[in-house]
């Protein structure tokens, strides 16, 4: 079924491929769809519900029918659109959703049961008998679910994720997109031009049309060459922008290696991009919609524009004798091009009375009311003023008008606007901040109009970027008006048989939508879920407006009043492997290593995991046989000399802006807007339900400039919380923040000799007078800029010094060497835990999500002078009950029996059962400073019970210990050592 002429395929490069184990031939430049069409294949798939035969409908990503599996074994990829799968040597593809074969599918028996499987049948059928659900219904539904299938094998092929930034993102490289990118590039803007096809040009690649006196393809080549050589434009073909998100972020899927027969082992199959754009222009074109008429789903019935694309670009047609059914002038372009290519146009069936003329029969005020041909179209029935006639055809091109591809403008809950002149929905201006729309996506359907629209929208974007656009002429091109007389569905004329299909993939008919309306599913969202209309992989791009028109007619409303369903990302399906790129093997739970990791290993430290970070547990020395010996020694170093600990894993979030202080007041329970530059303050953060989320320190480095420190485990949760608050609760606050955890290596230097050690390294020494407790500031170490914070998690005179991460390993070695020379050394997580328990400091063992600030003894930090997130909720009666469990310290009464974390606390003599439970133990250690085991826990009315005795009981380990309740601060309760 090849036509003469070159098109855009390379006839000098023949390719062989398989479809359902049958070898066929094609050419470089073909898609799998065009190659199948050229080999005379019409039946390519089965529908989901009734397993009806399906053929190719479109030539792009809106394809609802031609979904196939590509590859074998672990490389098998289901649900690939044949219209987007580029042909390569040895391509292996199979049809899906059929058994045992595509031509003989036993599951097509479902079609015979169609009268019993109408809209909402599943809501009515699977309710009874109740016992059938687990035994019959659910297993059967699970087996029938889905279209393609995964191989079940581990796919080791690489996928990638990447990030990009630009001044202007142009989405779509058709005539509007090319002109927008060219205008911006000539003005000096950094541009990303994303095109989902394998080459730029959009519809100009499929048309016999001239632009500025040259063929459309030649004009495209000239513009693309200028864009590439400008140095300002990154042209990204095979890249679909899949979603629009807050802050000018766009998700994009690039098909990197899927079109290659033998890709390099390291070449990713796909790459998921996160593009940050200051401005964006959507130039995604439009999709042609069908007309719903009886039996309009047969293989060989396709979009009229797609028919034109296959003929002009790929030089193939579904058959030698073709008819067209339309309600607009665009279909006549298809008829013209087919005739010019030597294809017989048997008829143009037009619903209008006034139509263009052509070298083919035109049936005016006519309808197609029936078709014949099980696995491929053979005949259509036309009903018109002159009666009914049957026409033998091999293919039927259908054009019911055009729907702008506006989905990205709805990804932030925007709704499109009905344009009565176009009889289509168009984007609502401003629906996505920073995103404008040009060309057919905006409802401008002529080529000249699209070119002009691209330049105009680019100039607007450049003005907002404060760039001066240069003057450039609009290329001359076709500017024919869009002429359409709307018709969405053909009612069955007298004698007409068969169902009129809307959603080809999910088998939704006109009758289904009307039935939904008759059962009071009159909301478009209810209709969608009741019928599954628009829930296929094309998200209703083909069928949505048709279904809305039927629902509007059934409910007596107009289409604008009926409204649309919600368009959500992704715009086209995205493989999970691309979204989770890098998350295979070790990448699933990445090992995060500090800059001191190698140095810790060299000292024999066993590593423990803390929030995906690996940190040293302790640093053994010769002669030490247990971890306790190393831990006790390290605690002694900090208490008597000096110790060094890598605390780089703590979350570090930098905040800047005029409203940063007010923002911190909102997210923290205590006040930060009064914090002066050069000072640090400890803060407690509440969740919206009033419970403690996290604690940490925040330093003020300058006016409107803060660095927040979070716990290691909660760093990502706090960052998500801040983003939610800023975007959803206070979007007008002038504050920006970013995580800088990995940018800084940070070390705690703690102990009586801490200042002396640091002054040996700092370019300018610090003293108590100029750098008191809770001070912060910029410092230099050997000429390298860093930050110094006088804070303590050990209760000792201590500092935390931060330095750019690339210097972290060297600084760790310097600090440890000096500490060892002063009788100290490095200390790990075990000693860190002992030190903080001795001081009664809490971690997420205590702030585990079920405690309030008052429970941990920090109730006075919740400011009475301001509001904050969680404050009101924290004052609920249940959270202020004096009978609540409160933080306490615990010591064994005999001074030697070890305490156990997780054990529960009971009154002496009480039966150890749930109803008598008084609390539980959270953290325990042996304190070498106090020479006794100690612990922290929660006890009912704990602060009023200091000095009392409780029984610690662990049923699981069979341990019972009598304990004394104490203040949680065991060591240096007045804090003099830290402040001195």
Q: What is the DSSP string of 382-413?
A: EEETTEEEEEE-SEEEEE--EEE--GGGGTTS
What is the total residue count of the chain? 980
Phi, psi at 346, each rounded to 5°: -75, -30
Confidence at residue 492, expressed as pLDDT on a 0 to 100 scale: 60
Alpha helices (runs of H) in 213-257, residue ranges in sequence order: 216-230
Structure tokens at 312: 């002009």
Angle at 507 between CA 506 and CA 513, to 5 degrees: 100
State mean pLDDT over 588-602.
93
Indicate the pairing of strand 91-94 with strand 592-593: unpaired
875: helix, strand or coil: coil
Which helix (H) or strand (E) is 121 found in, with range? helix 121-125
Residues 6+ apart with CB under 8 A from 135: none
Interval 838-896: pLDDT, tens: 999 999 999 999 999 999 999 999 999 999 999 999 999 999 999 999 999 999 999 99
Whole-number Cα distances in Å, 582 to 75, 255, 272, 402, 587: 17, 16, 11, 40, 5
* Structural class in CATH, domain 10-121: alpha beta
pLDDT of residue 612: 84
Mean pLDDT of 59-74: 94
Peptide bond into 100 cis (omega under 30): yes
pLDDT of residue 743: 96
Q: What is the mean pLDDT of the chain?
A: 94
Q: What is the dihedral of CA 756, 758, 761, 763, to 10 degrees?
A: -100
Q: pLDDT tens, 18-32?
A: 999 999 999 999 999
Contact 712, 645 (CB under 8 A): no
pLDDT digit string, tens, across residues 713-723: 999 999 999 99
pLDDT value of residue 495: 45
Give the DSSP per-residue string, 898-943. PP-TT-EEE-TTS--SGGG--EEEEEEEEETTTTEEEEEEEEETGG
Q: Compare 121 and 672 and report the one with higher pLDDT.
A: 672
The Cα–Cα gap between 150 and 775 comes to 58
The answer, yes or no, to whether residue 494 has pLDDT greater than 70, is no
Strand intervals (E) in 736-833: 736-739, 744-750, 776-781, 784-789, 798-804, 825-826
What is the band of 150 on the pLDDT scale with cuts at 50, 70, 90? confident
In CATH, what number does 160-286+404-464 get? Answer: 3.50.50.60
Quote the crossing angle between the two packed helices 544-555 and 524-531, to the nearest 10°.
Answer: 120
Q: What string of H, E and C letters represents the secondary structure of 561-600?
A: HHCCCCCCCCCCCCCHHHHCCCCCHHHHCCCEECCCHHHH
Q: In this predicted structure, what is the pLDDT of residue 471?
A: 85
Gyration radius (Cα) of the chain, Å: 35
Residue reference for tokens 């939508």: 513
Q: Which residues of 754-773 are buried (b: 16+ CB within 10 A; e: fewer)?
A: bbebbeebbeeebeeeebee
Q: What is the pLDDT, as a whole number, of residue 496?
A: 52
**Under 8 Å between Cβ of 79 and 130:** no
Which pLDDT tens digit goes with each residue over 797-824? Answer: 999 999 999 999 999 999 999 999 999 9
Point out which residues pair with 19 in neighbouring strands.
22, 93
The pLDDT of 529-552, averaged and rounded, is: 91
Asked which of 32-41, 109-118, 418-427, 943-952 is least confident by mean pLDDT, the reply is 109-118
As a dihedral over the C-alpha atoms of residue 143, residue 145, residue 146, residue 152, rounded to 10 degrees, the angle is -30
Q: Which helix (H) or strand (E) holds 194?
A: strand 191-194
pLDDT band at 188 (very low <50, low <70, confident <90, very high): very high
Alpha carbons 748 and 645: distance in angstroms, whole number: 5
Read off the pLDDT band of 204 (50, 70, 90). very high
Kindly tell me if the per-residue pLDDT of 145 is higher than 90.
no
Please check whether residue 448 is in contact with residue 431, taking contact to mean a CB–CB distance below 8 angstroms. Answer: no
Q: Hey, what are 918's tokens?
A: 């008084």
Share of the chain above pLDDT 90, in %: 88
In the predicted structure, residue 319 carries a pLDDT above the cut 50: yes
By CB atoms closer than 10 A (0-12, 13-18, 19+), residue 511 is: middle
User: Which residues, at least 6 apart from 604, have a Cβ–Cβ distance to it below 8 Å?
Assistant: 619, 620
What pLDDT, in 10s, does the model give residues 392-410? 999 999 999 999 999 999 9
- H/E run at residue 462: helix 447-464
3-state secondary structure of 435: strand
* Distance separating alpha carbons of residues 420 and 187, to the nearest angstrom: 36
Q: Residue 899 is encoded by which pair of tokens?
A: 């305490």
| In the predicted structure, residue 352 carries a pLDDT above the cut 60 | yes
Render pLDDT for 930-958 as a digit per residue (tens, 0 to 9).
999 999 999 999 999 999 999 999 999 99
Q: How confident is the model at residue 584, as a pLDDT?
A: 79
**Per-residue pLDDT, 491:** 78
* Residues facing 747 on adjacent strands: 646, 801
Q: Is 646 exposed, middle or buried (0-12, 13-18, 19+ CB in 10 A)?
A: buried
Residue 378 burial (CB < 10 Å; 0-12/13-18/19+)?
Answer: middle
683 pLDDT band, cuts 50/70/90, is: very high
Cβ contacts of residue 523 below 8 Å, gap of 6+? none
- Per-residue pLDDT, 607: 96
């Amino acid at each position: 079924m090849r036509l003469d002429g070159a098109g855009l395929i390379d006839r000098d490069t023949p390719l062989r491929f398989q479809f359902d184990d049958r070898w066929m031939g094609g050419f470089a430049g073909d898609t799998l769809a065009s190659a199948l069409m050229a080999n005379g294949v019409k039946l390519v798939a089965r529908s989901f519900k009734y397993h009806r035969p399906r053929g190719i409908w479109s030539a792009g990503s809106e394809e609802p029918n031609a979904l196939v599996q590509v590859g074998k074994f672990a490389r098998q990829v289901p649900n690939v659109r044949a219209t987007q799968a580029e042909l390569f040597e040895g391509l292996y593809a199979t049809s899906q959703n059929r058994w045992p074969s595509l031509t003989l599918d036993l599951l097509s028996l479902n079609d015979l049961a169609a009268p019993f499987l109408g809209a909402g049948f599943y809501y009515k059928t699977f309710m009874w008998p109740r016992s059938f659900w687990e035994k019959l219904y659910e297993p059967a539904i699970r087996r029938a679910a889905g279209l393609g299938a995964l191989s079940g094998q581990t796919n080791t092929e690489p996928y990638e994720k990447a990030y990009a930034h630009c001044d202007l993102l142009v989405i779509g490289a058709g005539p509007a997109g090319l002109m927008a990118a060219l205008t911006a590039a000539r003005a000096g803007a950094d541009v990303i031009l994303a095109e989902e096809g394998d080459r730029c040009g959009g519809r100009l690649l499929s048309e016999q049309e001239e632009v500025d006196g040259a063929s459309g393809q030649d004009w495209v080549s000239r513009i693309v060459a200028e864009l590439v050589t400008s140095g300002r434009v990154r042209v990204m073909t095979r890249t679909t922008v899949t979603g629009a998100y807050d802050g000018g972020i766009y998700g994009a899927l690039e098909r990197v290696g899927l079109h290659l027969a033998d890709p390099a082992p390291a070449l990713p199959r796909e790459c998921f991009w996160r593009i940050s754009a200051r401005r964006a222009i959507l130039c995604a074109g439009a999709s042609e919609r069908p007309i719903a008429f009886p039996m309009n789903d047969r293989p060989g019935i396709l979009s009229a524009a797609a028919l034109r694309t296959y003929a002009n670009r790929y030089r193939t047609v579904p058959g030698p004798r073709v008819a067209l059914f339309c309600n607009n002038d665009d279909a006549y372009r298809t008829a013209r091009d087919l005739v010019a290519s030597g294809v017989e146009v048997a008829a143009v069936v037009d619903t209008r009375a006034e139509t263009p003329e052509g070298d083919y029969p035109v049936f005016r005020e006519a309808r197609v009311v029936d078709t014949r041909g099980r696995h491929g179209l053979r005949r259509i029935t036309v009903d018109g003023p002159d009666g009914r006639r049957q026409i033998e055809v091999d293919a039927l091109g259908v054009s019911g008008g055009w729907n702008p591809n506006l989905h990205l403008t709805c990804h932030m809950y925007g709704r499109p606007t009905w344009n009565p002149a176009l009889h289509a929905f168009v984007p609502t201006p401003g629906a996505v901040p920073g995103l404008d729309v040009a060309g057919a996506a905006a409802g401008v359907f002529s080529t000249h109009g699209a070119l002009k629209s691209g330049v105009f929208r680019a100039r607007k974007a450049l003005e907002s970027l404060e760039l001066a656009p240069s003057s450039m002429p609009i290329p001359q091109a076709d500017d024919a008006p869009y002429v359409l007389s709307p018709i969405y569905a053909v009612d069955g004329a007298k004698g007409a048989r068969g169902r009129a299909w809307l959603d080809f993939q999910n088998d939704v008919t006109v009758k289904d939508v009307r039935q939904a309306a008759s059962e009071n599913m009159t909301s478009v969202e209810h209709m969608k879920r009741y019928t599954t209309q628009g829930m296929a992989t094309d998200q209703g791009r083909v069928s949505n407006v048709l279904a809305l028109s039927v629902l509007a007619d059934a409910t007596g409303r107009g289409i604008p009043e009926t409204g649309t369903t919600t368009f959500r990302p992704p715009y086209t399906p995205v493989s999970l492997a691309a979204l989770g790129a890098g998350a295979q093997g070790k990448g699933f739970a990445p090992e995060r290593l500090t800059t001191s990791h190698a140095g810790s290993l060299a000292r024999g430290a066993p590593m423990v995991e803390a929030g995906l970070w690996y940190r040293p547990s302790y640093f053994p020395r010769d002669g030490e046989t247990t971890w306790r010996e190393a831990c006790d020694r390290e605690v002694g170093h900090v208490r008597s000399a000096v110790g060094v600990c890598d605390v780089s894993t703590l979350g570090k979030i930098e905040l800047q802006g005029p409203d940063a202080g007010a923002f911190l007041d909102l997210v923290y329970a205590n006040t930060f807007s009064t914090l002066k530059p050069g000072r640090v303050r400890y803060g407690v953060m509440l969740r919206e339900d009033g419970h403690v989320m996290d604690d940490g320190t925040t330093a003020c480095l300058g006016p409107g400039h803060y660095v927040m420190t979070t716990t290691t485990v909660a760093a990502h949760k706090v960052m998500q919380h801040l983003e939610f608050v800023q975007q959803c609760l206070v979007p007008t606050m002038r504050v920006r923040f970013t995580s800088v955890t990995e940018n800084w290596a940070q070390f705690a230097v703690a102990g009586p000799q801490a200042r002396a050690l640091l002054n040996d390294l700092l370019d300018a020494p610090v003293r108590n007078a100029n750098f008191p407790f809770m001070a912060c500031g910029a410092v230099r170490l050997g000429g390298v800029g860093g930050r110094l914070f006088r804070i303590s998690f050990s209760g000792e005179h201590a500092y935390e010094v931060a330095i750019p991460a690339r210097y972290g390993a060297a600084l760790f070695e310097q600090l440890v060497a000096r500490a060892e020379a002063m009788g100290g050394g490095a200390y790990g997580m075990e000693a860190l835990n002992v030190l903080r328990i001795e001081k009664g400091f809490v971690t997420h063992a205590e702030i585990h999500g079920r405690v309030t600030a008052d429970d941990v003894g920090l109730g006075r930090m919740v400011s009475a002078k301001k509001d904050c997130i969680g404050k009101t909720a924290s004052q609920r009666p249940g959270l202020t009950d004096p009978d609540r469990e409160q933080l306490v310290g615990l010591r064994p009464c005999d001074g030697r029996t070890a305490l156990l974390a997780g054990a529960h606390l009971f009154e002496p003599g009480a039966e150890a059962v749930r109803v008598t439970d008084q609390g539980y133990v959270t953290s325990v250690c042996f304190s070498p400073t106090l020479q006794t085991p100690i612990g922290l826990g929660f006890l009912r009315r704990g602060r009023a019970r200091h000095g009392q005795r409780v029984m610690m009981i662990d049923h699981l380990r069979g341990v019972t210990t009598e304990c004394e309740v104490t203040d949680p601060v065991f060591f240096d309760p007045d804090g003099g050592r830290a402040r001195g």
